[in-house]
Structure 1
């Protein structure tokens, strides 16, 4: 495109304003998606009472949302690469807003669960494309700060959900926790429509047919994995043992389909790139560890330390608050010192926090839990900014949607795995402790975070090894041009 000298200053000013509008819409998109997850949990008891349903039945209000995100997030990332990220993100925000209204007007539980699945689809679009659009609109030297801002907004949404949801339920009933996101969604839609850059026309080599077969196989496989990890509340039974081989078969079938597809959903050579492979593996391990704080923390605080439900919620909010405060500074550290170096440093900080939780004596009380949690969460905020920045910076423009989708997928798989596997570790260690409920909970926490420490050390080893691989010449150009 031709640029005329007299228009240079005006164009630069318009670009700065446009970037601010874009970041505002993308940040609020991330907040909405995370708020949609956390605000529903606090409403489960009210939903059980309103619909005369069991806890297992209303739990699907949360599971349906998580399943939709997990199974579709890679596909929507590729759809954005193929058909335009701006167009798809606007559709995703509109879909999320409409589904929020449907949730708030649900006449029965089945309607609510179905609407939550649709809402999860909108959230998947927002989560996958927000990260991709950062790489498209923000200068490379500021990418870390922008991604840190998105992480901050996501953490604020997570922290805000329980307290906002409780206040809304107390004042207006359960429908308010869904209806409150409707005006916010309309605001985000307006900001995105005004601020998002126009979709760039794709070249003929990029805009190929959408891989419907691969998408269906991957969605079914991921859905089966999510069910295998969630059914049974952490206790593996016959259904889980049947579903896991089905997952393995689905992975093999997906690899076979992708190797033969003319326009595959995931190009297998992408996953062979050391930095992307390392980023996905460490993201899943770290998410597994962070889910441990949400699964184990409430049991230890209530049974091990004897805190009331209100105090448990207050203590648990320390983690998201630290993430919110650390997100933007973490992004600036990444911009200044480099993504790969900061990723390894962040994992070292996380390992310190996990180790402290695994050896913290019960008599230290709340301080013995909160201080290591602050260390762990601060390390997590730095890792998220570093890992996402490193992976997204190396992604080619036409692949940013799919790479962002893969990153979010690895995180969601880690959250699901952590909820099941780490919950099982806690239950096993607590049951093995033949003592009071308090000492059993403390023993379970120590054992679980000992396992978490090992997982973080594994992630640090993978990240450090990828730094060595990155110093070697990688024939990226060859694989980058072909086939897309």
Structure 2
């Protein structure tokens, strides 16, 4: 029988940590598949006899599909049940993962990635909402912190896990590894996921969904094409302009025409919600600046073997996984705004350390900075997710979760494209002519680009820190 409150349901409460395990495991897999494929693209392109720029669509179409559909599935979850949407998503993702491993053609693989992304978007848009409904307030921060750890681990660990698999197995197994894990999650979910809370069958805002999807596709095409041909290209500028115009149309539909809008713009009137979403976006972008720079620095400039570089970089997710639930637990003793500010100060200071790194920087010191960055991220993410999900009503949990996941995936694309643009522009200026790759024998050129890129990341972190500091001081003043 459906219940009106999971927190008061003894059966749900008895299984709540198993529910977190099932939701977290699938969150990890869905996020992992946004990054694990990158390292396999050269192998896939050689095996399938396709150009590298064609192979890049194997990654792009996955992220594009997820972002285009997150808000829609968040609203469907609010209207028809988040558990139901999550269950369907796990099945679709597992089927898509199975199909991705069959080497029929590029078109077949892209279609399989779309199926996989459909499932991923269904699970990503509902995971935070499910956890928020299932866990009581005293444990919610810790639970959302663990979900944040699964997200960060999936986003950062992809290249390392992919490299280990490719060293021993054909590329198909980077997809097929999801199948047994997916089946395990489906089986676990069958026994421990509760029935959905009774919902009203509210109408779906299809005009909003269609215009949002068109805007997202235009934005992604502009970003991907801009990286290849330059952002001053006429077609790229036209796509950016089109994306802005269609986003404007989407906003007008949502505020003036939609009976039950896909995106509740009144949520942005809540400063805690808006600032948490924005600062989370900024920090994820800054993290991907580091993710782009670090492999070049360690492998090309410092000459480390890929496995040694991987071990150093894994300090980030390992430390975050340890710290995130602890930070979540501390929310019972300290204000979430204080914890987010402390985490951001630590992250900003770690950027200062990276900016000063040279070819003679001891690797133990660089590894320590990676760990410090993971520590700061762990302190920040848990309370920030809690603020995002705890400042909205129950009827908007799916939309809020979808917006949070959308921001997470958008910042992945923005972080990668912005960091590579800044890096190669700065390297080109130092080199005296255009370059879009590491120049063998000229680590000084790379270091010039690296320092410029990380200065930008520092200012991104600083802006986020100042926003959170203002919020904390403002909340303290209101409390008095």
Q: CA deviation at 1:168?
A: 3.2
Q: CA deviation at 1:470?
A: 5.0
Contact residue 131 and residue 144 of structure 2 kept, 8 A: yes
Q: 1:324 pairs with 317, 321, 324, which one?
A: 321
Contact residue 287 and residue 412 of structure 1 kept, 8 A: no
Q: TM-score, normalised by structure 2?
A: 0.90
Q: TM-score, normalised by structure 1?
A: 0.90
Secondary structure at 1:231's aligned position in 2?
helix
Q: Which moved more, 1:387-396 or 1:310-319?
A: 310-319
CA distance in 2, matches of 1:321, 1:240: 39
Contact residue 350 and residue 373 of structure 2 kept, 8 A: yes
- What is the correspondence of 1:204-215 to structure 2 with a 5 Å cutoff? 207-215=201-209
Q: 2:358 pairs with 358, 361, 381, which one?
A: 361
1:236 maps to 2:236? no
The verdict on how the C-alpha distance between 1:186 and 1:20 changes in structure 2, with shifts beyond 3 A counting, is same
Q: 2:19 pairs with 15, 22, 25, which one?
A: 22
- What is the correspondence of 1:408-423 to structure 2 with a 5 Å cutoff? 408-423=405-420
1:92 corresponds to: 89
CA distance in 2, matches of 1:84, 1:471: 37
Secondary structure at 1:39's aligned position in 2?
coil
1:51 maps to 2:48? yes
- Identify unmatched segments of 5+ residues in structure 2: 433-440
Q: Which moved more, 1:135-144 or 1:33-42?
A: 33-42
- What is the correspondence of 1:51-450 to structure 2 with a 5 Å cutoff? 51-158=48-155, 160-203=157-200, 207-233=201-227, 235-238=230-233, 239-259=235-255, 260-434=257-431, 437-450=442-455
CA distance in 2, matches of 1:469, 1:401: 28
Deviations 1:93-138 (A, max 9, x none): 0000111111112411111112112211211111221111111000
Secondary structure at 2:202's aligned position in 1?
coil
CA distance in 2, matches of 1:61, 1:199: 34
Q: Which moved more, 1:114-123 or 1:154-163?
A: 154-163
Deviations 1:201-248 (A, max 9, x none): 124xxx421001101111111222122222243742413222111121
Q: Which moved more, 1:26-35 or 1:428-437?
A: 428-437
In the alignment of these two chains, the number of paired residues is 463
CA distance in 1, matches of 2:369, 2:376: 11
Deviations 1:120-160 (A, max 9, x none): 12111112211111110001111111112222333443455
- Identify unmatched segments of 5+ residues in structure 1: 4-9, 474-484
Contact residue 159 and residue 321 of structure 1 kept, 8 A: no
Deviations 1:310-368 (A, max 9, x none): 33333332322222232222222334323211111111111001111112233114334
Secondary structure at 1:364's aligned position in 2?
coil
Secondary structure at 2:260's aligned position in 1?
coil
The verdict on how the C-alpha distance between 1:377 and 1:278 changes in structure 2, with shifts beyond 3 A counting, is same
